Amino acid sequence: MAEAGRIILNTTFLPSLHSLHKTHRKVSYSQPFLHKRHPAIQCSISTSSDTKAAAKVSDTVPWGCDIDSVENAEALQKWLSDSGLPPQKMGIQKVEVGERGLVALKNIRKGEMLLFVPPSLVIDADSEWSCPEAGEVLKQYSVPDWPLLATYLISEASFEKSSRWSNYISALPRQPYSLLYWTRAELDTYLEASRIRERAIERITNVSGTYNDLRLRIFSKHPHLFPEEVFNMESFKWSFGILFSRLVRLPSMDERVALVPWADMLNHSCEVETFLDYDKSSKGVVFTTDRPYQPGEQVFISYGRKSNGELLLSYGFVPREGTNPSDSVELSLSLKKSDKCYKEKLEALKKHGLSASQCYPLQVTGWPLELMAYAYLAVSPPSMSRQFEEMAAAASNKTTTNKNIAYPDIEEQALQFILDSCESSISKYTKFLQASGSMDLDVTSPKQLNRRLFLKQLAVDLCNSESRILFRAQYVLRRRLRDIRSGELRGLKIFSGFRNFFG
Outline where 191-316 has alpha helix (H). Answer: 196-217, 233-246, 308-315
Q: How far apart are CA 123 and CA 189, in angstroms?
A: 37
Q: 3-class DSSP state for residue 76?
A: helix
Is it the case that residue 108 has pLDDT exceeding 90? yes
Amino acid at 457: Q
pLDDT score recorded for residue 17: 41
Return the pLDDT at 50. 38
Q: What is the pLDDT of residues 355-406, one digit of tens each?
A: 999 999 999 888 899 999 999 999 999 999 999 999 999 999 887 777 788 9
pLDDT band at 441 (very low <50, low <70, confident <90, very high): low
pLDDT score recorded for residue 118: 93
pLDDT tens, 330-349? Answer: 999 999 999 999 999 999 99
Residue type, 470: L
Sign of the Cα pseudo-torsion (328, 465, 207, 100, in order)? positive
Mean pLDDT of 228-239: 95
Does the pLDDT at position 57 exceed 60? Answer: no
Cα dist from 118 to 90, 258, 261, 306, 374, whole Å: 16, 12, 10, 28, 49
Could you list the residues known to form a binding site, using ranges: 246, 264, 267-268, 278, 303, 315
Q: In angstroms, what is the C-alpha Rg of the chain? A: 24
User: Is pLDDT larger for residue 68 or for residue 236?
Assistant: 236
Cβ 394 vs Cβ 369: under 8 Å: yes
> Above 70 in pLDDT, residue 25?
no
Binding site for S-adenosyl-L-methionine, by residue number, is 246, 267-268
What is the amino acid identity at position 190? Y
pLDDT score, position 178? 81
Q: 391-394: long-range contacts (C-beta < 8 A, 24 or more apart)?
A: 391/348, 392/345, 392/348, 392/349, 392/351, 392/352, 392/354, 393/352, 394/369, 394/370
pLDDT for res 438? 66
- Which pLDDT belongs to residue 227? 97
Q: What is the pLDDT of residue 148?
A: 97
- Range of 67-76, 250-259, 420-429 with top mean pLDDT: 420-429
Give pLDDT, residue 20: 37
Across 99-107, average pLDDT: 90
Q: Identify the pLDDT of residue 499.
A: 52
- Average pLDDT of the residues of the chain: 83
pLDDT digits (tens, 9 = 90+) for 447-490: 546 778 888 999 999 999 999 999 999 999 999 999 998 875 44
pLDDT tens-digit map of 157-216:
999 999 999 999 999 988 877 899 899 999 999 999 999 999 999 999 999 999 999 999
pLDDT at 176: 72
- Residues tagged in the binding site annotation for substrate: 246, 264, 278, 303, 315
The per-residue pLDDT for 503 is: 39
Predicted confidence at residue 97, as pLDDT, reads 63
Mean pLDDT over residues 277-301, rounded?
93
Q: Percentage of the chain with pLDDT > 90? A: 62
Is the CB of residue 348 less than 8 Å from the CB of residue 392? yes
Q: What's residue 446's pLDDT?
A: 55
Beta-carbon-side half-sphere exposure of residue 237 (alpha carbons within 13 Å): 23
